[in-house]
Structure 1
Amino acid sequence: MVEKIRSVLFFAAFILPITSLLPVAVCAGYECSFLSTETIIAGNLADPLLSEIYTKDFLSSMAESAVLQNINSSMLGGKIIEKNRMSLGYGGGRNQIKPRDFYFQFTELHELPTQGIAASPSLSYAVNLGNAFEKAGEWRKWNLHSQFFPYYLSEKNIPFLKVRNTEVDGRVANLSLNLRYFPFLDQSGNTKGVSFGFGLYHTNQEVSLHAYDRRPTQIRLDGDKRKWLGTNSLDYESKILSSTADLRYSFEIAKMTLYTGLGMMYNHGMTSIKAERVAIISSYLSPDDFLTNPSGIALNVTKELKIREANFYGIFGAQYHWETFGIGIEYLKNIKTESLNVGVHYYF
């Protein structure tokens, strides 16, 4: 049965209505004539089979990890900013739900991570509204945070992706605005550790991977051992608009500020994965013979998911501040995803 399912994914030729999942597989050439009738008919099962591979939970958790990484890139912290602060950091997020077995296990992309991961550097600026507008009173209780850092991906600057002989392309272009309110700020600058935040985040991530097989790899078709040789492409895209609200409580030990809290996010957008495989297949008589009866296959699978969901996340962090410089680390966690950010700060 397992071999039959793989046959369906690799070689069945079929036409399905256009939905959020659009699989297209074509086999051309003399060797394709050896496919059994059962295999061709089983092509109608490709839609539910592929839905079981890239499940809704998997794609939504990939989107959530990208959003958490974007939220973390704001480096909000837990302490009020009295004037201005510039921050440079690096953050990453990952989901904890793995995709099901897929045909890339028989190609050069079998080394891909089994978890969806998002990571990039970030640049953020924060200002106290009272200081910016030269006002006192309630204005001094508000901080405004903004964040943006366009980041272009390559094989050299993605530390979490360990794939050999693979071309990597893409970009991360996240941005955000966040207002924080410290209701108990007094004349001496004491905030009693409580703050509320309200944010808008736009998460835009595109990742493209392309690889070619360095050697033929073995597969089975209708019980016969075959080999195939070709190229592989995998594209991931995530575009999500999020609104957030959070409550944080902080306390100080000397120059160290520790904080924890609870946040809520509502995500609206889309995420998609597109996989393409083009390959030649060997003869059913000889797994090493590609030339006698040249035959090839092409597979194009696109899974797109609309994101409309709300989730809570926990907040844990620490900041160390001395004179005009500081460092901070923040960890966000919910049921399916988690994110960690480390940054350096300059106060002026």
Structure 2
Amino acid sequence: MKGSIFKLIIASAAFGFYSLPIQAKVTCTGEACTILPTAIQSQLNQVDQALQAQYTDKVLSTMAESAVITNINSSLMGPGIVNRFQVGGGLAVAGQKKEDINVAYQSLNFQKLPNVGASLSPNLVVAVNLGWLLGDGPSDTEQDLKTFMHRFNLYLHGFKFNFAQGDVQKAIESQNKNVQLGGDITSGGFTLRFHIFDSYSDGLGIFEFAGISLGMGMHYQRQVINVTYDDAKTQSVTLGPAVGTWGGATTFNYNSTITSIPLDVRTGFRMFYFLTFFAGGGTSINFGSTNLKLERSGPLAIALDSGAIASSLPAEVQALIPASTLGQTKTGTLSMDLSGSAQTPNSTNFLVAGIELNILISKITVEAIVAQKVQSVMVGAKIAF
């Protein structure tokens, strides 16, 4: 096969612990399949077990880890200071690249299949200082007028986006009319931050300490992605001693539902009013699952290759193959049906770092989260009142 079939699975990994059972099925029917040696037919029917254990389980794990990180990194909190209230929006993207995976099953080998995962989460954000909300003035009021509630900031975020509508679908159609994209992203949640040590300013705008704040929240994210790719072109395929082409439409369905409860500590400082640096760390408890279903079925055209027979089959098996079948193209149907699910990691430890640019009443924030091999960056803008 040389991985031709599994290029489709590789593409699915670009969307991304304990795994639940996975079902995989590769079937071949028609005259094309009758010319395959019995040993190759048997291996083809049983390759799903190797695919599950050696590749698909690991890819689903990578996808789930990436989805968790975008869920955690969705509030655009920056250093955690809110004077009155803020509104804005941002986009969180997470990804990771692990070592390539080699899948081997008897005489079938699939080399260097990538193990990558990615996830994205757009969000609208609102933040408010609870002291100001209760009518006690902004948080930067005079020290003797501050109340205990000025130490609390509440962050809310949420968004719902449909892939099948608007500019995204138009952009896809302009690039490739054979691709149909559907599905949506839904996210929402809150974080309540408490300033353990209050912020400090020199009053001149040259230096400001952001204090130390502790935040805890609940974030929810659901991703549903449906892709259908129908191209008239065929792909090369190798089934043991047989080589040929495979065509057909591919249907890809992916969804993840994740709830995260993150707890983190942050601090930072601002210089010359416009530039703020912040950093911190935390942990998150996660609940949810990731699901994948991939189907492809189409016409198969193969022929036995004498060179491939000599290199891949023992002499006693070669003697059983009629010479009249060599080089004759036979047709049939090759189908693949792959589905499975995986639980999200129970807990995730992470580090936070970023910068924030203050331009008049606007703030441009770049916030990064790192957890083991997974990295996430959220870029957004807010207006502060």
TM-score range, shorter chain: 0.7 to 0.9
Residue 228 of structure 2: aligned partner: 210
Aligned counterpart for 1:195 among listed residues 190, 213, 218: 213
Q: Is the 8 A contact 2:179 2:228 kept in 1?
A: yes
1:340, distance to aligned residue in structure 2 (A)? 1.0
Task: Give the alignment's TM-score, normalised by structure 2.
Answer: 0.74
Deviation digits for residues 213-240 of structure 1 (CA, Å, limit 9, x no counterpart): 3322221223122211111122221111
Q: Distance in 2 between matches of 1:252 and 1:211?
A: 50
Q: Distance in 2 between matches of 1:7 and 1:90?
A: 33
Residue 140 of structure 1: aligned partner: 150
Secondary structure at the residue paired with 2:215?
strand
Task: Give the alignment's TM-score, normalised by structure 1.
Answer: 0.82
Residues 248 and 7 from structure 1, CA distance in 2 versus in 1: closer, same or farther, beyond 3 angstroms? closer
1:149, distance to aligned residue in structure 2 (A)? 1.0
The answer to whether 1:324 aligns with 2:361 is yes
Q: Which structure's residues are more often strand, by fraction?
A: 2
Deviation digits for residues 241-276 of structure 1 (CA, Å, limit 9, x no counterpart): 111011111111021221011121122110122211
Larger Rg: 2
Residue 299 of structure 2: aligned partner: 280
Q: Is the 8 A contact 2:29 2:333 kept in 1?
A: yes
Residue 284 of structure 2: aligned partner: 265
Residue 168 of structure 2: aligned partner: 157
Q: Distance in 2 between matches of 1:89 and 1:231?
A: 35
Identity %: 24
Residue 57 of structure 2: aligned partner: 55
Q: Distance in 1 between matches of 2:192 and 2:168?
A: 32
Q: Distance in 1 between matches of 2:86 and 2:68?
A: 23
Q: Which runs of 5+ in 1 are unaligned?
A: 11-18, 103-111
Task: Count matched residues.
Answer: 324
Q: Is the 8 A contact 1:53 1:99 kept in 2?
A: no
Q: Is the 8 A contact 2:301 2:332 kept in 1?
A: yes
The answer to whether 1:245 aligns with 2:245 is no
Mapping of residues 1-348 of structure 1, within 5 Å: 20-42=21-43, 43-56=45-58, 58-97=59-98, 100=101, 115-134=116-135, 137-153=147-163, 157=168, 164=176, 165-185=178-198, 193-255=211-273, 256-284=275-303, 295-348=332-385
1:209, distance to aligned residue in structure 2 (A)? 2.0
Residues 34 and 310 from structure 1, CA distance in 2 versus in 1: closer, same or farther, beyond 3 angstroms? same
Q: Distance in 1 between matches of 2:383 and 2:328?
A: 62
Q: Distance in 2 between matches of 1:71 and 1:7?
A: 35
1:76, distance to aligned residue in structure 2 (A)? 0.8
**Amino acid corresponding to residue 249 of structure 2 in structure 1:** T
Q: Distance in 2 between matches of 1:310 and 1:163?
A: 39
Residue 14 of structure 1: aligned partner: none
Q: Is the 8 A contact 1:142 1:182 kept in 2?
A: yes
**Amino acid corresponding to residue 258 of structure 1 in structure 2:** F
Q: Distance in 1 between matches of 2:7 and 2:29?
A: 15
